[in-house]
Structure 1
Amino acid sequence: MNLRKLLLTIAGGAALAAILVEPGLAQDAAEATEEVVEATGGGVPAESVYVFNTLLFLVTGFLVMFMAAGFAMLEAGMVRTKNVSMQCLKNIALYSVATIMFWIVGYNLMYDGVDGGFLGSFTPKMMPAPDADAGDYAAASDFFFQLVFCATTASIVSGTLAERIKLWPFLIFTVVLTGFFYPITGAWQWGGGWLAEMGFSDFAGSTIVHSVGGWAALSGALILGARRGKYAADGRVHPIPGSSMPLATLGTFILWLGWFGFNGGSQLALGSEADASSVARIFVNTNMAAAGGVVVAMILTQIIYKKVDLTMALNGALAGLVSITAEPLAPNLLMSVIIGGIGGIIVVVAVPLLDKLKIDDVVGAIPVHLIAGIWGTLAVVLTNSDASIGTQVIGIVAIGLFTFIASGIVWAILKAVVGIRVSEEEEALGLDMVEVGVEAYPEFGVGSQRV
């Protein structure tokens, strides 16, 4: 029995009891029944809609927040032991910086009075008093949910530039990215800006979150340069294995789990049976796309390299997740697997291509988040009849050009003013020693040689 039927049954029973006990009470009971019908509107009472929507934002929000742990573990596993503490520090720091910057300027820049334009207002986000919190959800729950998306964008940059970038210049860039660049491009679509007016479609952020992070990472990688010893003068690539495949695998599973919040929460409502059904469908499609990315990456690496590459399988899962993020509701299960599987192909093809171009991406974030993000945004037209391929391309190009150029300018300024790269000697020692002062594995690191 659903909620409406239950309420009507209770009200009907009250009316019957009133008639049997005292006929004069029958009219009052009948009016109560009509009020129940009106309040439910054929579905859930307004108070329950508020609770369910708020709960959706909070629960899926903390799932997305937990993705910060996933990025930290993935990056810790993909770098060498001498740089693990640095990656852990960067991830907790960037989340904290993003939290403060999104409050000071990011949220209202993204959502306050965009009205078909390019950006909102440069004011801090203020929470209404509890008794003035109007709408179908708590304002604080929406702020929290949008905040954790902003932090995800910065996490993408961290992995690409690992093992050779200085801590404080990276965090200065994070201030600009999370406070300005991400909110501005987000305003164009999710804030009701000019791309939204054109009909651009990006349900949960294949472009708005993932490609933005990927473009920022690519510009940084080009200006920062590759790790010492990664590429030989004759063009050969020297692989630099990560410190812990178990940690990288754990990080991938945490990200996979968090993605249910990332995509499911983007339904933005849980106040009706239709919304609940949509969230469930999004969960299933998200899972299928990730599985498709893994399986395809495994098959391809077996065919090409005669062995299955674990790192490709891990990134295949993430590429599948990024690919489905732009439209996780409309596809059926088979199409979800296909969309995610093509993400797996992108990883296997793009990772060695970047090496040929001598673009050093430590964790494979550019193929996973940038290129698979572009693919996922284009793939929207396969299942969403309201989407136009021309509009999707315009959105991808506009957001990409703005983020890449603006990020490149900031990286170039930081390089000229304070420097963004550690010295060769410091890179050889490891950033745990020279930048953090705490080794992740002191028994095996540089510090153990002094004992």
Structure 2
Amino acid sequence: MTIETLRTGIDTVWVVLTAAMILLMEGGFALLEAGFVRTKNSVNIIMKVFADITIGTLCYFIIGFALMYGSDFFGLIGTNGFFLNGDLSHLDVTISLDTFWLFQAAFVIAVISIVSGAIAERVNFRAYLLFVLLMTALIYPIAGHWIWGGGWLSTLGFQDFAGSAVIHALGGCAALAAAMIIGPRKGKFSTDGTSVIALPSNLPLASVGAFLLWFGWFGFNAGSTLAATDARIGHIAIVTMLSAAAGGAAALLYTLFRYGRSDAPSVINGSLAGLVAITAGCAFVSDRAAILIGAVAGLLMIAATNWLEARKIDDPVGAFPVHAVSGIWGTVAVGLFAAEGGLLNGGGWGLLGIQVLGLLVLCVWGFCMTWFSIKLINRFVPVRATDEEEEVGLDISYHGIMATHTSPEFVEVKESFFEWEKVKDDY
């Protein structure tokens, strides 16, 4: 056995393990979102996550990966690699093509799961399945090609190590578009425009989901080295930890002194905001910069949440504040704090300008393509659940079962359930 063969084997094991860690994040998404929504919609959350994994994986295998990593066509799109066939020797990786695809497939599933949370409790399940297809086969892969597939933004020097922009900013802006089109949940805003608090069903469950996401993020960031022998792994791991801690601490302290209590949902999302923000620059910034990046992300997340509420945009899990706003900040932070090329490290304005340009393109692409996709889907399948389905709960409406039959919400809907059984086939 040669040294090169041994290195390839070790790198393969590393990438497969980190891909599995990222896939475990889907369990985190499921628990986080199920804990934030009402009990009568918990099963629907789980089913949407399974749709992300099943349909999203197949769409990415058949179409998406080729558009993202196929041979470049004028910096815009990949042209080969459908069904993972064809010559993909231009990919500069030391691992096998199968291993590389597995890691990238884990990423694409995370993108669509971001949108899922923003439209929880009121989206038609059939319409959501169609959107999963479009996001995983077209919207995300094309944008990904511009940065990670050898496209025009990568040629300009845009830096996004593990996806603050490609995954989180794009996914978060897509989530904003979806939430705006579908509209708020029934009763979310009163007639005078004030927000009505929809109490989370299970915050301990949501916190476990956040911890699973935190765990998986080490695979997300450190795994993006694609090599177990990369000396940067330890540094990537520590800045990931520091940024997440700073984001959660900033949210905890702000809510404690601002409202006299530390708000649990804000602290959960503050930690996630720190994770999102450091993802772009985890291989490029220092430990101290990571703390600042995370802390600012935690505060920006709270500000963005208030911004949504003021504009009567309903985002039950905070997908836009956590992913889009923190992803935008984290990508800009690369242009400020990167050890090589960062403005505050003597690198001038060049990298920062490229980062801002790339962000504008990705955010507009994610928002507009989602807007167009949902409008298109709505011509064939209503994207909004009916008033009756929303009132009874999407669990019973679309899946015929509730997460638990002992919750107060079940007591409220059990009588209407039998009436619903008589007419649900009409929907």
Kindly state the Cα deviation for residue 443 of structure 1 after the two structures are TM-superposed: 2.6
Letter in 2 for 1:382: L
What residue in structure 2 maps to residue 401 of structure 1? 364
Kindly state the Cα deviation for residue 412 of structure 1 after the two structures are TM-superposed: 1.1
Asked if structure 2 preserves the Cα contact closer than 8 Å seen for 1:300 and 1:348, the reply is no
- State which of 382, 393, 411 in structure 1 corresponds to 2:374: 411
Establish whether residue 336 from structure 1 lines up as the match of residue 294 from structure 2: no
Establish whether residue 148 from structure 1 lines up as the match of residue 103 from structure 2: no
What residue in structure 2 maps to residue 360 of structure 1? 314
In structure 2, stretches of 5+ residues that fail to align are 343-350, 419-427
What is the number of residues matched between the two proteins? 402
Establish whether residue 380 from structure 1 lines up as the match of residue 334 from structure 2: yes
Q: C-alpha distance in 2, partners of 1:382/1:236?
A: 38
Establish whether residue 239 from structure 1 lines up as the match of residue 202 from structure 2: no
- State which of 245, 249, 263 in structure 1 corresponds to 2:207: 249
Q: C-alpha distance in 2, partners of 1:223/1:417?
A: 16
Q: In structure 1, the residue corresponding to 2:84 is in which secondary structure?
A: coil
Establish whether residue 117 from structure 1 lines up as the match of residue 60 from structure 2: no
- State which of 202, 209, 216 in structure 2 corresponds to 1:258: 216
Kindly state the Cα deviation for residue 121 of structure 1 after the two structures are TM-superposed: 1.8
Kindly state the Cα deviation for residue 115 of structure 1 after the two structures are TM-superposed: 6.0
Kindly state the Cα deviation for residue 325 of structure 1 after the two structures are TM-superposed: 0.3
Asked if structure 2 preserves the Cα contact closer than 8 Å seen for 1:256 and 1:318, the reply is yes
Q: In structure 1, the residue corresponding to 2:5 is in which secondary structure?
A: helix
Establish whether residue 108 from structure 1 lines up as the match of residue 66 from structure 2: yes
Map residues 2-401 of structure 1 onto 2, 5 A cutoff.
45-114=3-72, 117-121=75-79, 123-126=81-84, 136-271=94-229, 275=230, 277-384=231-338, 385-386=340-341, 388-401=351-364
Q: In structure 2, the residue corresponding to 1:417 is in which secondary structure?
A: coil
Asked if structure 2 preserves the Cα contact closer than 8 Å seen for 1:78 and 1:242, the reply is yes
Q: In structure 2, the residue corresponding to 1:398 is in which secondary structure?
A: helix
Q: C-alpha distance in 2, partners of 1:75/1:134?
A: 37
| Per-residue deviation, residues 91-127 of structure 1 (Å, max 9, x unmatched) | 0111111110010001111011116611002652336
Q: C-alpha distance in 2, partners of 1:407/1:448?
A: 36
State which drifts further: 225-234 or 133-142. Answer: 133-142
Q: C-alpha distance in 1, partners of 2:92/2:388?
A: 57
Letter in 2 for 1:340: G
Kindly state the Cα deviation for residue 415 of structure 1 after the two structures are TM-superposed: 2.2
Q: C-alpha distance in 1, partners of 2:136/2:57?
A: 9
Tell me which structure has the larger Cα radius of gyration.
1
Letter in 1 for 2:214: W
Kindly state the Cα deviation for residue 134 of structure 1 after the two structures are TM-superposed: 11
Distance 1:53 1:125, change over 3 A: farther
Distance 1:375 1:63, change over 3 A: same
Distance 1:234 1:178, change over 3 A: same
Q: C-alpha distance in 2, partners of 1:151/1:365?
A: 15
| Per-residue deviation, residues 295-351 of structure 1 (Å, max 9, x unmatched) | 000011112211110000000010000000001023222211111111100111111
Q: C-alpha distance in 2, partners of 1:389/1:381?
A: 4
State which drifts further: 355-364 or 230-239. Answer: 230-239
| Per-residue deviation, residues 171-194 of structure 1 (Å, max 9, x unmatched) | 100100001000000000100100
Kindly state the Cα deviation for residue 135 of structure 1 after the two structures are TM-superposed: 6.1
What residue in structure 2 maps to residue 423 of structure 1? 386
Q: If the length of structure 2 is used for normalisation, what is the TM-score?
A: 0.91
Letter in 1 for 2:39: T
- State which of 432, 440, 444 in structure 1 corresponds to 2:395: 432
Letter in 2 for 1:270: A
State which drifts further: 413-422 or 196-205. Answer: 413-422
Q: C-alpha distance in 2, partners of 1:371/1:127?
A: 37
State which drifts further: 309-318 or 49-58. Answer: 49-58
RMSD: 1.9
Give the ranges of 4+ consecutive aligned residues of structure 1 lying more than 3 Å apart after TM superposition.
446-451
Asked if structure 2 preserves the Cα contact closer than 8 Å seen for 1:301 and 1:348, the reply is no
Q: C-alpha distance in 2, partners of 1:424/1:331?
A: 49
What residue in structure 2 maps to residue 31 of structure 1? none
Q: C-alpha distance in 2, partners of 1:249/1:300?
A: 19
Kindly state the Cα deviation for residue 79 of structure 1 after the two structures are TM-superposed: 0.5
Asked if structure 1 preserves the Cα contact closer than 8 Å seen for 2:243 and 2:275, the reply is yes
State which drifts further: 107-116 or 234-243. Answer: 107-116
- Calculate percent identity across the aligned residue pairs: 37
Asked if structure 2 preserves the Cα contact closer than 8 Å seen for 1:82 and 1:439, the reply is yes
Kindly state the Cα deviation for residue 268 of structure 1 after the two structures are TM-superposed: 1.9
Letter in 2 for 1:419: P
Kindly state the Cα deviation for residue 58 of structure 1 after the two structures are TM-superposed: 0.3
Asked if structure 2 preserves the Cα contact closer than 8 Å seen for 1:221 and 1:360, the reply is yes
Q: C-alpha distance in 2, partners of 1:292/1:113?
A: 40
Letter in 2 for 1:413: L
Q: C-alpha distance in 1, partners of 2:199/2:53?
A: 27
